Amino acid sequence: MCKLRAIGMASVLLLVAACSSPAAQSLQTGAGVLFGVGRGDGQARPDCTVGAVTLENFEVKENQRCILRGTRVEGNLFVRRNATLQAENIWVQGNIQAENAQEVQVRNAAVGGSIQIKQGGRALVSGTRITGDLQYDQMRGLLVASSNTVNGNIQIVKNLGGVEVSNNRVNGNLQCKENYPAPTGGGNIVQGSKEDQCARL
């Protein structure tokens, strides 16, 4: 079981999670792709679960698995090496940054900066409003970008696990290059240009 304690410190909440060993969880994405979170006894046991609270910044630490639902982050959200984030209906004033993460899922969120996910495993960003850019860079696993509104660019570069890019609205450019296999999808409305591997999407 995961025990979460909230300690008030002025206007900032400090969250401390004390949890048991990892277990399995799997989620069905809107794209019909099964995303898993670890493998174990079939029960969901995240290392931390955060609900509708306001935080200054938030970090999913190395090897941690965290679920955020309805959370407000007034700074940045970081996902560290081999960590997993499942976020739904969250608001982040700054950026979401993940490097070497195992898995990142962001659904129905609002992000005042950019979402930058690189050199990790799998990722899904869906139904999210992004003021800056959405970036997938040098990822190994399956990637999904669907039904997002992006004020900047979508940039998908040097990924190896397959990418689905569908039904996004992009005020900047849709830029895809050096991905293997090439991205699939369609229905993207782009005010700038659709480039390279995403020219027909």
Nearest to 117 by CA among 132, 105, 99: 99
Phi, psi of 155 (to 5 degrees): -125, 120
Cα dihedral sign, 84-136-90-56: positive
* Per-residue tens of pLDDT for the chain, all 201 residues: 333 333 333 333 334 333 322 222 333 333 333 344 433 334 447 889 999 999 999 999 999 999 999 999 999 999 999 999 999 999 999 999 999 999 999 999 999 999 999 999 999 999 999 999 999 999 999 999 999 999 999 999 999 999 999 999 999 999 999 999 999 999 999 999 999 999 999
What pTM, to 2 d.p., does this model score? 0.80
| Number of C-beta neighbours around residue 92 at 10 A | 27
